[in-house]
Amino acid sequence: MTPIDLLFPTYRQMLRMLSGLLDKAQQQMPDHAEALLSARLADDMYPLATQLRFAALQAQEAAYRMRGEAIPDRLLALGAEARDVDAGPGSIADVRRRIDEALAHLDTVADDVPDPQAPVALELPNGMAFDMTVEQYARDWALPQFYFHAVTAYAILRHHHVAIGKADYVPHMFAYLRPGTVPGA
């Protein structure tokens, strides 16, 4: 399995999941869904709007990093937008647009496989820098970081009383469901 084979289908599934969670929040809390974008799990963590933007960002930037290409200005701007929590969370339409842009971007990226041993330099906004291979980047950074933001978004919504569960987190698994194995059905 190549890094592309691992990351891109995962990103698509989980971005669609995040969009589905936003649907549930809007359906269940039509008068309060926008306020959820400012919700956090802890005071020193980013709010929901930022978690969703970071997930959209990381799903897109991986292809550039694995190919050793510069991160486009539009993605650098998305990262800055995500970190600028003082500017306000925006709207659900805003974060949904970011998720949709990420999904559209994934459909345009060529699936040519970068050399798994090619170097990747990762420089964070706080000044930390990491040197690794494409394989290490995919396994040790790209996938865990993406999942961190996706899981945190799920946890924020769950913590703030959006009625979601495991099936909402992994809806893509129902494509593999063996007939007759749903308990109580």
Task: Report domain extents, the chain.
Answer: 3-176
Q: How far apart are CA 81 and CA 49, in angstroms?
A: 10
pTM of the model: 0.94
pLDDT, residue 111, reads 72
Q: Is the dihedral of CA 154, 138, 57, 86 positive or negative?
A: positive
pLDDT, residue 46, reads 96
Of 78, 20, 10, 29, nearest in space to 50 by CA: 78
pLDDT, residue 87, reads 86
Q: How far apart are CA 80 and CA 53, in angstroms?
A: 10
Tokens of 67: 């190919």
Tokens of 6: 């691992």
Of 117, 156, 184, nearest in space to 36 by CA: 156
Name the CA radius of gyration of the chain, rounded.
17
User: How many other C-beta atoms are found inside a 10 Å radius of the C-beta of residue 32?
Assistant: 14
Fold designation for 3-176: Four Helix Bundle (Hemerythrin (Met), subunit A) (1.20.120)
pLDDT, residue 181, reads 93
Per-residue pLDDT of the chain (185 residues; tens, 9 = 90+): 888 889 999 999 999 999 999 999 999 999 999 999 999 999 999 999 999 999 999 999 999 999 999 999 999 999 999 999 878 899 999 999 999 999 999 999 877 778 999 999 999 889 999 999 999 999 999 999 999 999 999 999 999 999 999 999 999 999 999 999 988 87
pLDDT, residue 143, reads 97
pLDDT, residue 162, reads 97
User: How many other C-beta atoms are found inside a 10 Å radius of the C-beta of residue 182?
Assistant: 9
pLDDT, residue 184, reads 81
pLDDT, residue 2, reads 86
